[in-house]
C-alpha cells in the first residue's frame, strides 16, 4: 500500500538543525510512492548538503545558487513557476520562524519563498513543519504569523516537545519524520467525517484474579487503532478507549487507557453522550473472576487447582446501543464480532441481539496480532465481505461505509 502513489512534492528546507530530519522525511515520502523535488535556502545548506538531498530524492536540488529564481536548467528560465505548477503540495520541513515571517509578508528574495508566492493557491497546498527554539515558538509574533498564515490557506502541521539542540526543553521541535508522514497522508484523505465525534474501543480487557494473574485474550488492538487513525484522517474528532496494548497512539487522537471491562464501560459511557459514532472493536472479556484475591494465589502442595468463580461482565455495546441517543439515531453504533466458526450466522445473531445498524465480523484466530484482516459487514439487508487487506485499508473502507450510512458524505 502506497498512500502517496502518484503525488509529487516540493520539499523545502530552511535553516535549522532539524534539516537532518528532512533526509529521513524525503526517504519516507518516496517509500510511500511520492516523487520529491528538494529546494533549499542558503541557510539550510549550512546544516545539510544539497548532495545528500540529491542522493535521497534522485533529482537535482535547487539551492542558493538559484537564489534569483532564474535557472538555465529550465527551458523558460523560471523554476519558481515550473516547480510550483508541477507539485501536488509544497512541504516546508523544517520551516524556520524567519521563513514563516517571510511567507506572511509575501517576500520573495530566493527561490523557495518565490515559488511559494507563485504557487496556484487553490490547487497547490502549502504545508509547514515549524522548527525553532521554544521561546521563538511561544513568541506572540510567531503565533500571530501562524494565525495569519492559516487564514491565508496555509496548513501548519504543529510541533513536537522535548529536548532542543540549544539545551533547553519545550515546544518547538520539528515533528519526527514518521509523524510528518502520517500528517501528510492524512491531509490527502477525503474528509468524510468532518466535524463528527467518533468514539472507539480497542484491544483486550484484563480481568484480574490476583495482583499478578488475570484473564485476557489475544486481541492486539491493531484493528481498533487503525479505525481510530482512519476516522481522524477523515476529519473526525476521535476518542480511543484502549485496553492493555503496546501500540502508538494515532496522530491527533485522544487516548484513554483502561484495563478491565468495567473501566472500559465507565470511560465509554463518559464520552458516548458527546459522540456521533460509536465503534466497539474491543475484545471485551465476557466473564471476570467474582472475587479478586489481594495476594498472589499460591500452590498449596496438594496438587489441587484453586476454584475460581466467575461473574458476567457488563455488555458495553448493548448498554450504549440501548441508550436514548442510540435509540433516537443520534449515535450510530457499530459492533465487532470475533468468532472462531460460522461467522455469518453468529454475526447476524449478534447484530439482532444488540439492536445495532451495523455489525462487523471476523475470524479471531485469522486476525489477532496480524497486520491484515478480512471483514464481513452485516446489516438488516444481509452481509457483504471486505476482502483481505491491511487493517488500515479496511479501516478506511469501514469509515467510508459509516459516513455513507450516517449521511455524512451527502
Regarding whether 204 and 173 lie in a shared domain, the answer is no
Q: How many CA atoms lie within 13 A of 331 on its CB side?
A: 26
From 156, 188, 220, the end of a domain falls on: 188
Q: Is residue 302 in a domain?
A: no
Q: Is residue 298 in a domain?
A: no
From 166, 188, 210, the end of a domain falls on: 188
Of the given ranges (222-226, 355-359, 384-388), which has the lowest mean pLDDT?
384-388
Regarding whether 230 and 100 lie in a shared domain, the answer is no
Split at pLDDT 50, 70, 90, the class of 54 is very high
List the end-to-end C-alpha distance of the chain, in Å, as a whole number.
Answer: 28
Asked whether the predicted pLDDT for residue 96 surpasses 70, the reply is yes
Q: Is residue 139 in a domain?
A: yes
The CATH number covering residue 43 comes to 3.40.50.1950
- Return the H-helix or E-strand segment holding 270: helix 261-271
List of residues 6+ apart from 228 with CB closer than 8 A: 198, 200, 202, 238, 240, 250, 253
Q: Is residue 105 in a domain?
A: yes
Regarding whether 223 and 148 lie in a shared domain, the answer is no
Regarding whether 227 and 100 lie in a shared domain, the answer is no
Higher pLDDT, 165 or 145: 145
What pLDDT, in 10s, does the model give residues 163-222?
Answer: 888 888 899 999 999 999 999 999 999 999 999 999 999 999 999 998 989 999 888 999
pLDDT at residue 366, rounded to an integer:
57
Q: Is residue 116 in a domain?
A: yes
Split at pLDDT 50, 70, 90, the class of 65 is low
The single residue listed with the C-alpha cell 534539516 is 19
What pLDDT, in 10s, does the model give residues 321-351?
Answer: 999 999 999 999 999 987 777 888 888 898 9
Regarding whether 170 and 32 lie in a shared domain, the answer is yes
pLDDT at residue 365, rounded to an integer:
58
Counting other chains too, the contacts that 58-64 makes at CB distance below 8 Å and 24 or more residues apart are 58/30, 59/35, 62/37, 62/38, 62/111, 63/39, 63/111, 64/40, 64/110
Peptide bond into 247 cis (omega under 30): no
What pLDDT, in 10s, does the model give residues 264-316?
Answer: 999 999 999 999 999 999 999 999 998 888 888 888 788 888 888 999 999 99
Q: Is residue 251 in a domain?
A: yes
- Rounded to whole angstroms, the Cα distance separating 32 from 22 reads 15
Q: Is residue 301 in a domain?
A: no
Q: Is the Cα torsion angle 401, 404, 407, 410 positive or negative in sign?
A: positive
Nearest to residue 277, comparing CAs of 330, 353, 354? Answer: 330
Regarding whether 256 and 182 lie in a shared domain, the answer is no
Quickly list DSSP for 126-189.
EEEEE---HHHHHSHHHHHHHHHHHHTTEEE---EEEE-TTS-EEEEEPPPHHHHHHHHHHHHS
Which cell numbers in the block locate residue 393?
485499508
Let me know: does 92 contact 12? Beta carbons within 8 Å.
yes
Regarding whether 275 and 133 lie in a shared domain, the answer is no
Asked whether the predicted pLDDT for residue 159 surpasses 80, the reply is yes
pLDDT at residue 404, rounded to an integer:
94
pLDDT at residue 70, rounded to an integer:
56
Over range 8-20, report the average pLDDT. 96
From 157, 188, 219, the end of a domain falls on: 188
Regarding whether 264 and 228 lie in a shared domain, the answer is yes
Residues catalogued as catalytic: 166
DSSP letter at 22? H
Regarding whether 62 and 21 lie in a shared domain, the answer is yes
Regarding whether 167 and 209 lie in a shared domain, the answer is no
Regarding whether 114 and 34 lie in a shared domain, the answer is yes
Let me know: does 323 contact 295? Beta carbons within 8 Å.
no
Q: Is residue 153 in a domain?
A: yes
- From residue 111, alpha-carbon distances to 14, 49, 122, 124, 212 in Å are 11, 17, 21, 17, 62
Domain count along the chain: 2
Strands (E), 283-409: 287-289, 310-312, 332-339, 358-363, 372-379, 382-390
What pLDDT, in 10s, does the model give residues 248-268?
Answer: 999 999 999 999 999 999 999
The CATH number covering residue 388 comes to 3.40.50.10300
List of residues 6+ apart from 239 with CB closer than 8 A: 197, 198, 199, 200, 253, 254, 256, 271, 275
Sheet of 332-339, strands arranged across: 254-257, 237-242, 197-202, 277-280, 332-339, 358-363, 372-379, 382-390
Over range 373-377, report the average pLDDT. 89
Let me know: does 289 contact 207? Beta carbons within 8 Å.
yes
Regarding whether 207 and 176 lie in a shared domain, the answer is no
Split at pLDDT 50, 70, 90, the class of 72 is low
Query: 392-406 burial string, b = 16+ CB within 10 Å, else e?
Result: bbbbbbbbbbbbeeb
Rg of the chain, C-alpha, whole Å? 26
Domain around 31: 8-188
- Enter the pTM of the model: 0.89
- Rounded to whole angstroms, the Cα distance separating 116 from 315 reads 54
List of residues 6+ apart from 410 with CB closer than 8 A: none
Amino acid at each position: 500500500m502506497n498512500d502517496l502513489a502518484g503525488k509529487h512534492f516540493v520539499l523545502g528546507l530552511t535553516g535549522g538543525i532539524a534539516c537532518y530530519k528532512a533526509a529521513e522525511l524525503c526517504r519516507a515520502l518516496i517509500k510511500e510512492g511520492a516523487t520529491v523535488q528538494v529546494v533549499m535556502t542558503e541557510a539550510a545548506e549550512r546544516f545539510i548538503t544539497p548532495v545528500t538531498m540529491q542522493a535521497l530524492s534522485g533529482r537535482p536540488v535547487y539551492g542558493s545558487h538559484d537564489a534569483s529564481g532564474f535557472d538555465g536548467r529550465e527551458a523558460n528560465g523560471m523554476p519558481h513557476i515550473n516547480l510550483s505548477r508541477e507539485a501536488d503540495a509544497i512541504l516546508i520541513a523544517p520551516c524556520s520562524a524567519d521563513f514563516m515571517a517571510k511567507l506572511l509578508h509575501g517576500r520573495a528574495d530566493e527561490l523557495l519563498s518565490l515559488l511559494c508566492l507563485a504557487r496556484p493557491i487553490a490547487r497547490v497546498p502549502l504545508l509547514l513543519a515549524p522548527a525553532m527554539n521554544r521561546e521563538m515558538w511561544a513568541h506572540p509574533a510567531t503565533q500571530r504569523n501562524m494565525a495569519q498564515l492559516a487564514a491565508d490557506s496555509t496548513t501548519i502541521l504543529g510541533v513536537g516537545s522535548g529536548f532542543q539542540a540549544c539545551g533547553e526543553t519545550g515546544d518547538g521541535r520539528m515533528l519526527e519524520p514518521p509523524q510528518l508522514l502520517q500528517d501528510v497522508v492524512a491531509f490527502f484523505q477525503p474528509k468524510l467525517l468532518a466535524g463528527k465525534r467518533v468514539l472507539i474501543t480497542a484491544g483486550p480487557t484484563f480481568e484480574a484474579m490476583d495482583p499478578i494473574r488475570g484473564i485476557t485474550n489475544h486481541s492486539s488492538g491493531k484493528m481498533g487503532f487503525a479505525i481510530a487513525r482512519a476516522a481522524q484522517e477523515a476529519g473526525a474528532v476521535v476518542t480511543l478507549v484502549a485496553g492493555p496494548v503496546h501500540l502508538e497512539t494515532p496522530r491527533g487522537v485522544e487516548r484513554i487507557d483502561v484495563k478491565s471491562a468495567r473501566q472500559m464501560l465507565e470511560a465509554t459511557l463518559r464520552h458516548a453522550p458527546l459522540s456521533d459514532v460509536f465503534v466497539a472493536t474491543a475484545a471485551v472479556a465476557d466473564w471476570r473472576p467474582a472475587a479478586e484475591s489481594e495476594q498472589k494465589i499460591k500452590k498449596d502442595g496438594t496438587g489441587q487447582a484453586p476454584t475460581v468463580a466467575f461473574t458476567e461482565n457488563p455488555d458495553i455495546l448493548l448498554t450504549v446501543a440501548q441508550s436514548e441517543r442510540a435509540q433516537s439515531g443520534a449515535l450510530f453504533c457499530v459492533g465487532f464480532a470475533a468468532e472462531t466458526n460460522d461467522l455469518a450466522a453468529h454475526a447476524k445473531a449478534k447484530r439482532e441481539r444488540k439492536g445495532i445498524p451495523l455489525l462487523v465480523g471476523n475470524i479471531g484466530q485469522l486476525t489477532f496480532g496480524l497486520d491484515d484482516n478480512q471483514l464481513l459487514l452485516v446489516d438488516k439487508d444481509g452481509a457483504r465481505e471486505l476482502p483481505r487487506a491491511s487493517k488500515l485499508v479496511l479501516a478506511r473502507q469501514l469509515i467510508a461505509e459509516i459516513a455513507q450510512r450516517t449521511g455524512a458524505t451527502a
